[in-house]
Amino acid sequence: MSLKTPLLATVCNAIFQWMAQQEPGKKLHLDRRELFISLRRSIRSRAVLKAMERVPRELFVPTSERLNAYMNVALAVGKGQTISQPYIVALITEALRLQPTDRVLEVGAGSGYQAAVLAELVPDGNVVTVELILSLARRARGILDDLGYKNVVVEDATEILGFPGGGQYDAIVVSAAAPSLPRSLAAQLAVGGRMVVPVGDRDRQELICVLRTGEGVSFRMLGPCRFVPLLGCEGFPSSS
């Protein structure tokens, strides 16, 4: 009996360790399934949902948050920044009505997740995403490279909002809250282009979809939201 007891204990420990390793994967799988069931009730674009299903969101969040990757909530990614909740990502992306050859600009790369979703929808176009925080830009660049996104470029932000050196864009996403509609970004939008930007104060904003036409711009309200503040040019003062 004394010979069998250590062996039994070893086998039991191995089983318990294996079960513990399976639980995180099981939770991610179940949460992911429930998330997309929920999104299908409110998001009409099947192309957007399929794009989001192809992007492994768990790789864009810190290790400490991976078990929560498919919860429908925003998650911290460091340096005071967040990865937006999946519903907001889907809502923004759907409003852009992207075409495969579109050129897209994102202001505020953060984790790189939104850029990956955008890249899935413009396989024959490209995405330029700019980030003010250098460490986040490096991390996003590394993840996107590792996942093989060849049509995404992560640029370090400058004093000029956006990336005017890239010409005009068919779509622009602002992944941070602005106190008013950024005029410099509207100027970087091609005629017929769409821009989604959260506008308001630091605590509450309205998600606005802007359409640039030959006569000017038109607006469509997408609903209330809460984003981290846009800092610097046409944003909020960093000291407030």
Dist. CA 54–CA 51, nearest whole Å: 5
Q: Are 184 and 233 in contact (CB under 8 A)?
A: yes
Residue 138 in domain: yes
Range 82-91 average pLDDT: 97
Above 50 in pLDDT, residue 2?
A: no
Q: pLDDT by residue (tens digit) across 180-195?
A: 999 999 999 999 999 9
Residue 173 in domain: yes
Which pTM value belongs to this model? 0.88
Residue 140 in domain: yes
- In what helix (H) or strand (E) does residue 194 lie, and over which residues does it extend? strand 189-200
Number of domains in the chain: 1
Domain that holds residue 56: 41-225
Confidence of residue 11 (pLDDT cuts 50, 70, 90): low
Q: Are 106 and 175 in contact (CB under 8 A)?
A: yes
Residues annotated as part of the active site: 84
Closest to 59 (Cα-Cα) out of 132, 121, 144, 136:
144
Residue 13 in domain: no
Above 80 in pLDDT, residue 12?
A: no
Residues in the chain: 240
Q: Residue 170 sits in a domain of what CATH number?
A: 3.40.50.150
Please, which residues bridge with residue 49 across strands?
none
